[in-house]
Amino acid sequence: MDTSLVSYLGELRTEALHPRSGERILTDAPVDNRGKGAAFSPTDLLCTALATCMMTTMGISAQGHDIPILGMEARVLKHMASDPRRVQRVEVELTVQVEGLTDRWRTILEHSARTCPVAVSLSSELVQDISIRFV
């Protein structure tokens, strides 16, 4: 089955369909690049994918090690560069609430986050400024 089906809607907008679930994502070019900024831009999705992948892999590791994660939130900030236009740096501030956090659990969760599939797939030229705060 296809991963996604993407249609160009015109006016710098796209719609991506996830065939298995029927979920849809709209993208729009950012205001600083001729768009309306009415939805996530493709580069926003790239940076957001990093945070969601980190959280997902931490959740998988937590399940496998019986680590009681009570909640997670991430703040994502994208920094663009020009010539060529690209994401130069992404900041992810991740807050993880764990009941009875131990040093071993912290090591497992941090390793899972920093080695998630998106993190290791991104160019080494893209700076990943990751901070993980456990509460």
Q: What is the mean pLDDT of the chain?
A: 97
Instruction: Check whether residue 21 and residue 3 sit in a common domain.
Output: yes
User: CB–CB of 90/50 below 8 Å?
Assistant: yes
Q: pLDDT tens for residues 28-53?
A: 999 999 999 999 999 999 999 999 99
Q: Report the distance separating Cα 135 and Cα 128, nearest Å.
A: 22
Instruction: Check whether residue 68 and residue 79 sit in a common domain.
Output: yes
Instruction: Check whether residue 73 and residue 24 sit in a common domain.
Output: no
Q: Report the distance separating Cα 135 and Cα 121, nearest Å.
A: 29
Instruction: Check whether residue 115 and residue 105 sit in a common domain.
Output: yes
Tell me, what's the pLDDT at 26?
Answer: 97
Tell me, what's the pLDDT at 27?
Answer: 97
Instruction: Check whether residue 23 and residue 53 sit in a common domain.
Output: no
Q: Phi/psi of residue 94, each to 5°?
A: -105, 130
Report the percent of the chain where pLDDT is more than 90: 99
Mean pLDDT of 105-125: 98
Instruction: Check whether residue 76 and residue 86 sit in a common domain.
Output: yes
Sign of the C-alpha dihedral computed for residues 42, 39, 116 and 106 taken in this order: positive
Instruction: Check whether residue 2 and residue 36 sit in a common domain.
Output: yes
What CATH number did the domain enclosing 107 receive? Answer: 3.30.300.20
Question: What range defines the domain where residue 16 resides?
Answer: 1-40
Instruction: Check whether residue 6 and residue 59 sit in a common domain.
Output: no
In 10 A of CB 37, how many CB atoms? 13
Instruction: Check whether residue 56 and residue 89 sit in a common domain.
Output: yes
Mean pLDDT of 80-103: 97
Check: pTM over 0.85? Answer yes or no.
yes
Instruction: Check whether residue 90 and residue 72 sit in a common domain.
Output: yes
Q: How many residues does the chain have?
A: 135
Instruction: Check whether residue 116 and residue 56 sit in a common domain.
Output: yes
**HEC-encoded secondary structure of 42-79:** HHHHHHHHHHHHHHHHHHHHHHHCCCCEEEEEEEEEEE
Tell me, what's the pLDDT at 98?
Answer: 97
From 24-28, 29-33, 62-66, the region with the lowest mean pLDDT:
29-33
Instruction: Check whether residue 112 and residue 69 sit in a common domain.
Output: yes
Tell me, what's the pLDDT at 122?
Answer: 98
Instruction: Count up the domains in the chain and report the number.
Output: 2
Task: Spell out where the chain has E strands.
Answer: 5-10, 13-17, 24-28, 69-81, 86-98, 127-134
